[in-house]
A and B are shown apart, each in its own frame.
Chain A
C-alpha cells in the first residue's frame, strides 16, 4: 500500500465518513469528482448515498465509462449505494450499473427509514457492527463471489477478486477493519 493513493467518489453521499475511515485504517485518501482525479488514484471507494443521484452525475460528467474501465484494473470498494453501482443486476426499480461484481441487488429491500437498523454480525473479519440504512439486499451471487458475512441468510459483505462490497456502512462505525481489509487488495 505504501505510496499508493486511495480515492473516494465524492459526487454525493457520506464520502467524508469514508475519508475518515480510510485515514484511521492508515491510508491518505483523496476526493474524486472528475475523470482526471480518477486517473490519479490506485483504488476507489464508492460511498453510501443515493445511487440514482450518483448514476446521473456519473453519466452527465462523463465518468461512467472511465469508472467501468478503472474497475477492470484496480480495486473498488462499494458500500450501500456503492454496492448497487457495482452490481451486475439492480431491481426495484431496475437501473443501470457498472457490472463489476457478479451480484443481483434489490434496492431499499428492507423498507423505508423506519426499517433501518444496527446489528452485530459474525464475519470472516470477526464480529462486525453493521449499520443498515435504507439498505439493499443481495438476492443472488455468481460463482466468482466470495461471501464474507450474511444477515438473515442474505450476503451483506462480499468480495470478487480485487473488489469488495458491503450493503451496510462500516464508515459509520469507529471500527476500521473492513476498510483495512480493502487496503490489503491494493
Chain B
C-alpha cells in the first residue's frame, strides 16, 4: 500500500468531500447554483452524460476556457474529466491545476487496454468501478478515490445500487477468509494481492468510496449512502431536472441526513411538484451504448 505524503494528500482531499454532493456543471452560472445549494465540489464538463448519450460522437476533455471559467466562479474544489488512458489530457488538467481528475468512462476511452498511471501525478484521481477487482486495480494504478459507476446519464439508480452492493458484498466476503485463501481471491478479482490483504483486514477500501451514475432524486442519494457510499456524484440529475436549484438543495440535504427518514421526506417535499429528469430503462439502452462497460 503506497502511503507516502503525496498519496495521503490526495486521499485527504477525498476525505474532505465525504458526506457531500459533487455536481456536474456545464457553465460558471450552474457552478454558482451548485455552490449556493451546498455542493462540496463541482465536476466541470461541456455536456452532462445524458447529453453526451443523446449527441453521440466522441466525447473528450472539456475546453480549457470552460473549466477555467468554472474554477474562477466558485471557491469549492473543481474536478474535470479525462478520457480513460488519455494521460496527456490528464497532464493538461494538472497543468490547469484542477483539484481532482476523473478518469471517466463517460468520455470515449482513448486506450482500450490501459488506464493512466496515476501514481506519477500530483493531482489526485477518481476512477469508476463496478466491482471490487476493478476498484483495486484503479487504486493500484494510484486512484485516490473510487466511485461506483452506475450508468451515467440514465437517471436510473438500478446500476448504482448493483455496483455498490457488489463492492460492499465482495469486501465483506474477504473479511471472513483466512490468510492462506487471499491469493486465490487476488487471482479471482484480478487485483493486487496487497490490496486484497488490506481490504480483508479492514473491511473497506483504502480510499473513500463514493457513488455515481443514476442519482436523480433526494431519495436516490439517501439510498446509495445507506448502501455504503461515502458521498454522492450527481451528473445529469440536477441540471436536467425541472428545477435545478430545488433539486440541488434537496439532494444535499438528503445526503447529509441519509439515515433520518423524516429529513429525507422533507428533502423530497422541498422539490414540490417539479419533475426529476425523465431517465432511461437500462434494458432499452443498446449494449454498445452502455458507459459502465468502458474500463478494464
Binding site for A on B (CB under 8 A): 5, 8-9, 12-13, 15-20, 35-41, 71, 75-77, 94, 97-100, 122-124, 249, 252-253, 256-257, 260
Contact = CB atoms under 8 A, between A and B. Distances in A.
Given A49-B40, A53-B38, A56-B36, A14 B16 contact: yes
B19 A12 contact: yes
Contacts of A61: 253
Contacts, number: 110
A13 B150 CA distance: 23
Given A50-B76, A118-B5, A131 B12 contact: yes
Given A49-B40, A118-B5, A108 B18 contact: no
A106 B16 CA distance: 18
Interface of chain A: mostly helix, strand, loop or mixed: loop
Nearest to A93: B75
Contacts of B253: 57, 60-61
B13 A13 contact: no
B13 A172 contact: no
A52 B100 contact: no
A169 interface: yes
Nearest to B74: A52
Nearest to A55: B38
Contacts of A111: 97
A48 B16 CA distance: 6
Contacts of A116: 9, 12-13
Given A50-B20, A53-B20, A113-B100, A118 B8 contact: yes
B224 to A, nearest CB: 16
A116 B10 CA distance: 9
Contact of A133 (B12, B36, B97, B256): B12
A112 B97 contact: yes
A16 interface: yes
Contact of B76 (A52, A60, A114): A52
A53 B37 CA distance: 8
A131 B9 contact: yes
7 contacts: A12-B256, A53-B76, A111-B97, A112-B97, A112-B98, A113-B123, A172-B12
B9 A49 contact: no
A168 B122 CA distance: 19
